[in-house]
Structure 1
Amino acid sequence: MKKVIIILALVLFPLIMSLLIKVPLFNFSSGTTDSWIGFWGSYLGALVGAGTVYMVTNIQIQEQRKIQLESIREEHYNALKREMKQYHFRNQIDKIEDFNETIEEFLDTLTKCSNDFTKYITYTHILYGEQDNYTKEEETKYKEEIKELKDELYNWIHRLNRLNFRINRLSLYIEDTSSYTKSISSQLVEFVDELKSGYRDDYSFKKYLDFNQASLNHHLEQFMGLTSQLLNNVLQPKLEQKINEMNSGEM
């Protein structure tokens, strides 16, 4: 709108001045009409030149400002994009490392739980088996140990279930891990059922004394096999890949 007004003013101003020169009101000014026409021609030429320079300069400034703003906007976008990718890589690496630590804790808990189960079976066999060559003090000690081991059972089960839940939750963030975690969960159900069955009866040693060690070892071997495959075939390669991609600048 401003440009239109300026253009109209520049076009109409000479016409208006030519009419004003003929008005008697302006007869008091000295000089001929031709002189005034020359003056106004020079004056208007200067105005047109100044206006043109102003418009061109203003347009250049506006264009330069647009270029600068676009450059700043693009720089911010690229910086944000790099930060988001870096966050994604860092988050993936943290999840994989957390997965590794959780599996190690899970295996350690399984081993300790199995050791307690073996102690329970051994003490049960001493008390209720064919052995009777223990003192009254030893009998009291074994009964206390058995009671503590029974009380500790559900703590172990709670820890194992909590760790298993964490493993399954982490598998949601990392591809190619769900089949392993499902197998681990399935094996854990069988393992816990066997623990509960073995702890439930004081005379279970007759069933478990010969069977439990082989059974427990079988479960532990399966857990070790699954977790070893998960660590070596999936998690470790993914961790190395993410670290290499982050270090190489592919993010």
Structure 2
Amino acid sequence: MNPEDLIGRLLHRDGLMLILDKPAGVPVHRGPKGGESLEDGFDALRFGLPRAPALAHRLDRDTSGCLVLGRHRKALEKLGLLFKQGRIAKTYWAVVEGGPADPEGLIDLPLGRRDASRGWWMKVDPLGMPSQTRWRVMGQADGLAWLALEPLTGRTHQLRVHCAAQGWPMLGDPIYGRLGRDDPTPLHLHARAIAVPMQAGKPSVTAEAPVPAHMQEALRRCGWSDAAGSPVPQPGPNDAVGGE
């Protein structure tokens, strides 16, 4: 991604942090096999500081939306603590196949690694780490549902595994979806909004990422319109530190 495009994706900028609208399909950092990553362009986001910003958390390659960067070491330490303490609230939008019968609820299923040969692929595991996701139906149509998801913990692939375990896998999920890697549809998971209580006594820094092009058709079928906003998430007592 060229510097102009990356700068154009800024949702928030201050002296401590940046919030980017991450595009789907681009990894946030270079993997063991190399290749292009979002991190490669961070030097364009220094804005006068001696060092490039760094990731305060991560999103999966196929997930789009709000991504927080710390602009220097002290800011990164503060952000790391806030994520660890679960004080940063995140709301994701997803389109799932099928969908819940109830309007809202809580998924409380522990998660563990599927097996050593599958990298970070996860499964529901009674002996795994505690994992909770709050969900709310925003709209439904044509065998699809638009959900607002709030991870109360931050396990790898938590939202994707939790939804699949309920019988409503995310549209286009190449790992946990019904068609797996045979499905050419992009993953319909978007980090819609975030709230960061960065400074004591001051309101949380909030940002909202626009709906990506690949999700708009399915969301419109479920009742979304371009004018539809989303409630700003509020920091709460959880431990959401991982990535989706």
| Class of the TM-score when normalised by the shorter of the 2 chains | under 0.3
* TM-score, structure 2 normalization: 0.19
Give 1 or 2: higher strand fraction: 2
**Which structure is richer in relative contact order (CA contacts within 8 A, separation 6 or more)?**
1
Q: Which has the higher helix share?
A: 1
